[in-house]
Chains A and B, each alone.
Chain A
Amino acid sequence: MRIEAAIAARTSFRLGEIEVRFDGPVAVVSGPPGGDTAPVEVSLEVLREFVRADDHGRYRPLPGARTLPHGWEVRCASAGELRTAIDEVYPLALQHISQHERGDLRVVALDDVLQRQSGRYALAAGLSGKGREAACRALCSRCVRTPSWQEGTLPEEAIPCPEACSVLIALCREAALWESSPPAPSPANPTLPFAQFEAPGNEVREAYLAAHFAAPPPGPVQHRPARRR
């Protein structure tokens, strides 16, 4: 039990974009470093609201997005507070890591998630296999979680994603519409709302369009580690 063992032994660890270190009786959770300035101290009570916006004040509907604000820390007086702090930043991540390590993480295939949608999202199931791959590349590569529902081996330090999230479902829905009438690409504009996929310039939309309709983009997205269920 990697994280639980580290908490019990009070040894530092990283999880996604956060780092946990122990300072005497206190556990310190810190966000990505903010340069030369000392980190801002954030209380556990306001942490959830604090991490809901990125450095530019843009709403983060996907808690796993690699857009945590920089330069902050939370001081936790107990292991319970530390778990709460981690859960505020990455909801259910600790449970999913433990379940994965025990071998009882309930994993749901992407197709099952898409097939069960109704109403506005029923369209998502119509996305082709190639479209689904491009959607995962465009979105999941921006997330600290690693899909357990894809083939391959989960890296040791991964936060498993047991089931496609609502943001991916929303992207698959838009992408299914794009397959019938492909939109023209636009320059990516990282100030647009993260999940407003219908907006030309949305960074995830443009990454998808580049992956699906043009030559695949270069970079780490192409070389994700192999995953295991």
Chain B
Amino acid sequence: MARALVLAGHGSHLDPASSRPVHEHALRLRARGTFDEVRCAFWKEEPPLSRILEACDADDVTIVPVFISNGYFTRTVLPREMGLTGPISHMSGKLVRYTEPVGSHPALAEVIVERALEAGAGPATGVAVLGHGTPRNPESERNVFFQAGLVAKMGHFAAVAAVFLEQEPNMRDVFQRLDTREIVMVPLFVAEGWHVGVSIPMDMAIGAGELRRDDRTLRFAAPVGTHPLLAGVINDLASAAAAWR
């Protein structure tokens, strides 16, 4: 049975950087050759989520949401747009497997560690895992706390905390949440888009990737979603789904 992998992303009407990592991970996954077809589909770009399944030649299709949170998009928008009825759907002769989003996978914690190390974090550093969060949906914080907990257990850093852009604990209070002299903030975001590239550095007044407060420093790492290792996380999710019956 031919197998297809669909990377389902958000995309943007205003920011071309939003979908770029999804396409790049698709290229990496095509090169691995595990799937006969690897396609991308987006909520706000083309090809759209609503038309991608019928474009797949394969009759066994696995969809991996390239989203951090398990919330409105993964539970409402993607299933509705793609006509999914659960983890396994049967549609016009196709078997469709729908996995959890990348943000739910424990292997993502290793990508967070990589990003922190790249930004110079060491054993004395405090690492802040920065999620979007929203007070409108309590589900949206869950994976951020989950991943921050995994990173803390790995023991590479002096302390680890979860902070958020749009809810408490807020990223602006990061110096109170972590008491280390050096802090590295790792954005748990898929793309180097508006938030990571513009709004967060502006809100935090981070110039040249670093913020100083008295004798303490805060550095900003690249987002996890653009790290090449994320392709491996997607592959793990898709491979686990292959065993579903």
Contacts and interface: CB of A to CB of B under 8 A. Distances in A.
A170 B44 CA distance: 9
A103 interface: no
A61 B13 contact: yes
A163 B46 CA distance: 12
Contacts of A92: 46-47, 51, 55
Interface in B15-50: 15-16, 20, 23, 43-48, 50
Dominant secondary structure at the A interface: loop
Interface residues of A, number: 26
Contacts of A170: 13, 44
Contacts, number: 53
B50 A163 contact: yes
21 contacts: A48-B23, A61-B13, A61-B14, A61-B44, A91-B46, A92-B47, A92-B51, A92-B55, A95-B55, A116-B80, A119-B72, A119-B76, A162-B51, A163-B50, A165-B48, A166-B13, A166-B45, A167-B13, A170-B13, A195-B13, A195-B14
A61 B45 contact: yes
A52 interface: yes
Interface of A: 48-49, 52-53, 59, 61-63, 91-92, 95, 106, 108, 116, 118-119, 162-163, 165-167, 170, 193-196
A116 B15 CA distance: 25
Interface extent on B, as a size class? Answer: 20 to 34
A12 to B, nearest CB: 26
Interface of B: 11-16, 20, 23, 43-48, 50-51, 54-55, 72, 76-77, 80
A42 to B, nearest CB: 16
A211 to B, nearest CB: 21
A108 B48 CA distance: 13
Contact of B46 (A63, A106, A196): A63
A185 to B, nearest CB: 22
